Amino acid sequence: MHATSIVVLTGAGISAESGIATFRGPGGLWEGHRVEDVCMPEALARDPALVHRFYDLRRAALADVEPNAAHRALARLDAEWRGELLIVTQNVDDLHERAGATRLLHMHGELKSALCAACGGRREWAAALPPGTVCEACGAPALRPDIVFFGEMPYAMERIEAALSTCDLFVSIGTSGAVYPAAGFVQTARHWGAATLEINLEPSQGSFLFEESRMGPASVLVPEWVEAVLAA
């Protein structure tokens, strides 16, 4: 189809090919860590040192990875396609930005950002973030990783829902289809009449909801799809 407005959702699968471990599965980041210990508000309150150290390590590891062909292809789409585009990522890495994407939002937060638990302010942060770090805006010793924990509301949901309600193509890349609300985006897009495409290494929990699924490496399939969109 000839689209005029596209929403792209990306998940851990797109960054896995750059060497960023997914959270789930053998060798995943949560192997050896319970979700309850590193990605819930209660964990931060109970053991802030553990939670801060966990995300400090993830932030430092970004220096050892680079965007792959799938990130670069989406950045090309962003730069060259004249229609409406919103890239929504569940990932907290910075690989989309480093590839050059700008029409982008991080619904689950960012490793290179700090959030003040007192005033709600957010600021860029590249170094280690020990518990008790002072917020420059309000002076409270309350900076924490700017990560949306389980039980917290993802960022920019109103903007995402608005985009889903007006797009004519929704594309999901490298997602498990297991984490809501993102797992429900395909249903929202279909409700409003959009065509839907899944690009994944293997079928996700929500594959049956998509009109079309393409299975294989994102680094191969995403550049092919972008090439076709730009040639249409």
| Catalytic sites, residue numbers | 108
Maximum distance among all Cα pairs of the chain, rounded to whole angstroms:
53
Helix (H, G, I), strand (E, B) or coil at 50: helix
Is 98 in contact with 112 (CB distance < 8 Å)? no
Q: Encoding tokens for residue 12?
A: 């851990």
Q: Which of 12, 55, 32 is nearest to 178 (CA)?
A: 12
Instruction: Fill in the DSSP letter of residue 85.
Output: E
Q: Which of 24, 122, 20 is nearest to 71 (CA)?
A: 20
Quote the CA–CA distance of 224 and 53 in Å, as a whole number: 39
197, HSE (Cβ side, Cα atoms, 13 Å): 20
Is 196 in contact with 20 (CB distance < 8 Å)? no
